[in-house]
A and B are shown apart, each in its own frame.
Chain A
Amino acid sequence: MYRYDEFDYQFVRDRTAQFADQARRRLAGELTEDEFRPLRLMNGLYLQLHAYMLRIAIPYGTLSSRQMRQLAMIARRWDKNYGHFTTRQNIQFNWIKLEDTPEILAALADVEMHAIQTSGNCIRNVTTDQWAGAAADEIADPRPVAELIRQWSSLHPEFSYLPRKFKIAVTGAPNDRAAVKVHDIGLRLHKNDKGEAGWEVIVGGGLGRTPLIGVTVREFLPQHELIAYLEAIMRVYNLYGRRDNKYKARIKILVHELGPEKFRAEVEAEYARRPKQETEVEERELARIAAYFAPPQFERLPRWSPRFEEARLANPAFARWVRTNVAAHFADGYAIANISLKPEGGIPGDATSEQMELVADLAERHSFSEIRVSHAQNLVLPHVKRDDLFDLWQALSGAGLAASNLGLAGDIIACPGLDYCTLATARSIPVAQAISRKFADYDRQQDIGPLKINISGCINACGHHHVGHIGILGLDKKGEEYYQITLGGSSATSASIGQIIGPGFAGHDVPDAIEKILDTYLKHRQPGEEFLAAYRRLGAQPFKEALYAAH
């Protein structure tokens, strides 16, 4: 894992002192709320329905046990003993007092964390594959480059007052688990004919009001050109992105309005015009960072673990958890263990202080003290010996953390919705809870197979409903919450935007509607065909009939 050096420490300390001074001036009335808002947002502090919400950056979703324990401490001391892991691999605390924030930021700085640029019209926390550095299908660990981008984008003087927020995602594997095609910039590592690794640069994807799949502006960008090229893209956006209407201010609208060809030409012209600085420093910096991400000292183990196989045969509940929540690791004898934060009827992504501390302990014992946060709001222990999986599962079971539903109907992504958020038009959490209860039966979830249900409480799409196989969007119709359903979305390698299936439903009717959709799928599917594939083959018609025929 990356470790701060003296410069990184000084940087967050300066920043914490700067924010403490800004908060003091605000409380003393020297800054207006309008002037203070962008400053606090750039430090992750939102004013929500009931209190301030503090969103803390978890760069590329990687946490150490020590950091996780500090998050648990913060939740206990300054919040209500829980935190919420978000779809951007961050954590947010919902019950924060403004006057406590400098102290919280100082506590974060102690463990090499901060809340810089988790909000505001700037480059946000960079995200990546939650299985980075462990997945069997990976070309290279994308986290060194993600850390390079984190540093470069931190307090970038040119790009801190952009037209709108800006999100960058990076993947080092051919199976895209970082949703790079629906980010402002997505970077995909691949190899050219000569076997050299470079980046496909995808720009202008996004969800929100105008869901769009990004366009490729460079097929193959050599590693050492990356930062300079990103600056050219950012400059074109900063200069020409729309500022007249916040709903048209994301880079996707600029790409769309100019057209991909014209946009690409602008970026290439800017890139060619800028003075070329020596890139040796960036290359050395990347090498320095990469050393921190060297694989841990894996033991040489046989692929076959008798202890694991015996436990699996003896214990069907464990076997089920393994089937859904354990993924292939590149090192023999190791596995990736996914911890679902989606218990039956629970709030997606929430974890108590005690749960965080348990996960920290288990990571220390079983996973080289390393934890990941996934954009599906779950946690990951990336490097667990197969021999240890049964012990791990037992410990998780005792703390309500062993839901066997990763990637299944119960693994619902949901934004905080109207229970917390000032932007929301409807609640998300109760709908997620009702669906979770309806499909609580694990055998049924297994039978339905891989499924992504995503719920957003408003059109801003923080729950990524456009890319859910089943997307649910909460809206307000004359004071009543109702929910629009989309089908066929995906953020995977063959990304697509879901299509609205028909008129919306009242909240209490949503679980039944989902059931009708899934029954239709079960009726029509071919052997081994997953929901998304079946929908793409069948089209909307049979689902429409099932939902609306009786109306």
Chain B
Amino acid sequence: MPLIKNDRFIDDPWTHVGLEDSLPSSGDIIVPYARLLKEWDALTRHDGRLGVVFTNIDRVEALSLFLPRLALIALPFPSFTDGRAYSLARQIRETGFAGELRASGNVLPDQLQFMRQVGFDAFEVTERFAPEVWLGASRRMSLAYQRGLYRPAGEAEVWSERHRDAEPWLEQPHAG
């Protein structure tokens, strides 16, 4: 599956390892959250970076213990109209997580800009749409009213622009 990261299509260096799959001896792996809970000790000794697929029904607080060791969190969109992952993404970024935040599942071009604005920086996408559609859709709006968004496409934040001499809003750590 093609992967977009930081505005480019790249080869995915990560391997998805399912609940029942055997752990590879090394390499960067993404495991389901259930496996993280079950095999945390073994996983902390894994030779390679560790990522998790976090589901929409668990609370972000549950991740806090694992966060320092995690380099990637994938949030699946079960359907593109299910918007829970937008809030989860922002909550995860608000904890200070600076690793890769990946959108997976039902990811479509017209939602890409919102996903980037809440802190996603990597997208597992389908081949149904041409690369220029993907990259174009993620920068359709040149500005946003809300403050404190991630703005990798350089969108202006209207309120901040209007009141440039006001207190600067503390920059959030930039996504991985």
Contacts and interface: CB of A to CB of B under 8 A. Distances in A.
Interface of A: 5, 7-8, 10-11, 14-15, 17-18, 21-22, 25, 30-31, 35, 38-39, 121, 151-152, 154-163, 235, 238-239, 243, 273-275, 277-278, 280-282, 284-285, 288
Nearest to A156: B146
A157 B144 CA distance: 9
Contacts of B149: 157
A275 B94 CA distance: 7
- Counting chain B CB atoms within 10 Å of each CB, which of A35, A278, A281 scores highest? A281
A161 B81 contact: yes
Contact of B156 (A7, A25, A31, A282): A7
Given A158-B86, A281-B160, 11 more contacts: A7-B143, A8-B158, A11-B158, A155-B114, A155-B145, A158-B118, A239-B84, A273-B94, A280-B167, A281-B147, A281-B163
Contact of B166 (A121, A275, A281): A281
Contacts of B84: 238-239, 243
Contacts of B159: 151, 281-282, 285
Contacts of A284: 162-163, 166
A11 B143 CA distance: 7
B140 A14 contact: yes
A38 B86 CA distance: 16
Contact of B87 (A25, A235, A278, A281): A235
18 contacts: A7-B156, A7-B161, A8-B158, A14-B140, A31-B110, A38-B80, A121-B83, A152-B145, A155-B141, A155-B145, A157-B144, A160-B83, A161-B81, A161-B83, A238-B83, A238-B84, A277-B147, A278-B166
A157 B145 contact: no
Nearest to A42: B110
A157 to B, nearest CB: 4
A157 B80 contact: no
Given A7-B161, A161-B86, A281-B166, A14 B110 contact: no
A157 B163 contact: no
A21 B133 CA distance: 11
List 3 tightest A-B contacts by C-beta distance, closest first.
A161-B83, A157-B114, A157-B117
A296 to B, nearest CB: 24
Contacts of B24: none
Nearest to B110: A39
A22 B166 contact: no
Contacts of A273: 94
Contacts of A17: 140
Given A157-B86, A238-B86, A278-B169, A11 B145 contact: yes
A157 B169 contact: no
B144 A155 contact: yes
B140 A285 contact: no
A407 B159 CA distance: 40
B42 interface: no
A161 B144 contact: no
Contacts of A288: 162-163
Contacts of A14: 140-143
B90 interface: yes
Given A7-B158, A278-B167, A281-B147, A18 B140 contact: yes
Contacts of B117: 157
Contacts of A243: 82, 84
Contacts of A18: 140-141
B87 to A, nearest CB: 5
A288 to B, nearest CB: 7
Nearest to B164: A281
B170 interface: yes
Contacts of B90: 158, 235
B31 to A, nearest CB: 23
Nearest to A235: B87
Contacts of B146: 152, 156-157
B114 A160 contact: yes
Interface string B149-176: 1000000101111110011111000000
Contacts of A285: 159, 162-163
Contacts of A162: 83
B67 interface: no
Contacts of B86: 157-161, 238
B158 to A, nearest CB: 4
Nearest to A234: B87
A152 B144 CA distance: 9
B135 interface: no
A21 B140 CA distance: 10
A128 to B, nearest CB: 19
A17 B117 CA distance: 20
- Counting chain A CB atoms within 10 Å of each CB, which of B86, B144, B169 scores highest? B86
Contact of A157 (B88, B118, B161): B118
B87 A158 contact: yes
A394 to B, nearest CB: 44
